[in-house]
Amino acid sequence: MTKQSILVVDDHKEITELIYHYLVEFGFDVVTKNNPREVFAAVEQQKPDLVILDIMMPGMDGIEVCKELRKTSNLPILFLSSRKDDVDKVLALGVGGDDYITKPFSPRELVARVQAHLRRNSLLLPLVQQQPASLKFENMEIDPDTHIVTAYGNTINLSAKEFDLLFQLASYPNRLFNSEQLFEIIWGGDSLGDLRTVMVHLSTLRRKIEKDPANPAFISTIRGVGYKFIGQPQGQD
């Protein structure tokens, strides 16, 4: 069985070495980088299954790295930070991060988060592949084969989790999902995390797909109840 590969990026060598030993012990192949600008070549050459990325790095911080990666890649990105400020967490998730862990962290929590995201990705991929037909609505098309979303004729660049959320909601138009259900479906029922992650990802998703996020045409919030995709499916391929 092929080992899953993790790319760990932190400007502190002692941190990358510590995480390296944690993950290797659990059977992962691990590549470490201390220079954030080396990430892009490493992703291209090593093709990791997940990236662990520190936020505070000199020269190019983790937020900038994530933005660049999201232009070409949907692989899971797990942020590390020594800051517990919710603003940083919202920013990290808003640029396409899949999870956020504050330092100091326990080895078990880190490994559990990594395993949960890898497991979730492996489960979602075959599910998407089983549905070759695009989802078509007025002013929107969602292609699960290519992960390409078009809204109002424009191609929208979404992170993996943003796409998964949109695809889940659009697969069941006009059906309500609460935050707990969406968190369980997209992040995994046994994933360690915060339900605010759902809110942050949906807020970012709306900014990308809606002409007026304050008056959404695609994803509606029913206050105190949940979220639903608005629209009637059109003819499918």
Q: Where are the domains of the chain?
A: 5-126, 131-229
Helices 160-171 and 107-129: crossing angle in degrees, nearest 10, is 50
Residues 122 and 124: their CA atoms lie apart, in Å, by 6
Between CA 23 and CA 5 the distance in angstroms is: 10
- On the question of pLDDT at 63 being above 60, the answer is yes
pLDDT on residue 48: 93
pTM of the model: 0.61
- Alpha carbon distance 98, 217 (integer Å): 25
Choose from 42-46, 133-137, 190-194 the range with maximum mean pLDDT. 42-46
pLDDT band at 228 (very low <50, low <70, confident <90, very high): very high
Which CATH superfamily does the domain covering 5-126 fall into? Response regulator (3.40.50.2300)
The CATH code belonging to domain 131-229 is: 1.10.10.10
Pairwise CA distance, residues 71 & 163, whole Å: 14
Looking at residue 235, what is its pLDDT? Answer: 65
The Cα–Cα gap between 89 and 81 comes to 9
> Which amino acid would we find at residue 56?
M
For residue 104, the tally of other CB atoms under 10 A from its CB is 6
